[in-house]
Structure 1
Amino acid sequence: MLSHALENGVLVLAVDDEPGPDEQNLAALISDLVHVHAPTPAVIMLGGEVPDPVIDAVVEAHRRCRQLDVLISVATSSAPARRVFQAHATADGGALVVHARVDTAISTAYATAD
């Protein structure tokens, strides 16, 4: 469901395409990992098909981590999902960064950590 690794000083969280029954706990898992690794920037990788409950979980995790002042980015090839995330980012003051490519998200997060 959720795997994580440190890559170039960036916490990379990969959400499976089919998160399964644990998707209710996804927001808690993401926010716990971001809290543990703070102030390390985080990139959440999502597949091409992003179900609404996964989008909701990522948005909720971002909300839970807002007080940490940690850069959190989302990378997905799904244009509809990117639009939803960007709408949430705009509504929340723009703190969630949205990318189409994982490599761009990681390199941008790394650059901001310096």
Structure 2
Amino acid sequence: MKYVLLICDDETVSQSMAEIAADPTYQAYGVEMDRRGARVVGGARLRPVADATTVRVRDGETLVSDGPFAETKDFVGGIDILECADLDEAIAIAARHPYASRGCVEVRPVWE
């Protein structure tokens, strides 16, 4: 079954890609994924919220605004798409994600 992990954190303290690559916590997370046999089948780190564009359609009119969709300190900074056995395993994997201890990781099943 596929699940999306929405990786949320405070953008003002988010690590750079180089810091993430060198962080032993991320390396341990990768080892845990391998141990479980879970597969990351997609994902990406997202650009900062300052680069976001929000689109809404109201009464047939397309409204476009700069910035994020919500006023919040935490932002969705990236996604991982997992293929794993069930929700329990997806939750266990999310709990091991390094951002779960600083921000949060939202788990959502994918419609298939």
Q: Please, what TM-score do these two structures have when normalized by structure 1? A: 0.28
Q: Identify, as 1 or 2, the structure richer in strand.
A: 2
Question: Relative contact order: is structure 1 or structure 2 higher (C-alpha 8 Å, sep ≥ 6)?
Answer: 2
Higher-Rg structure is 2
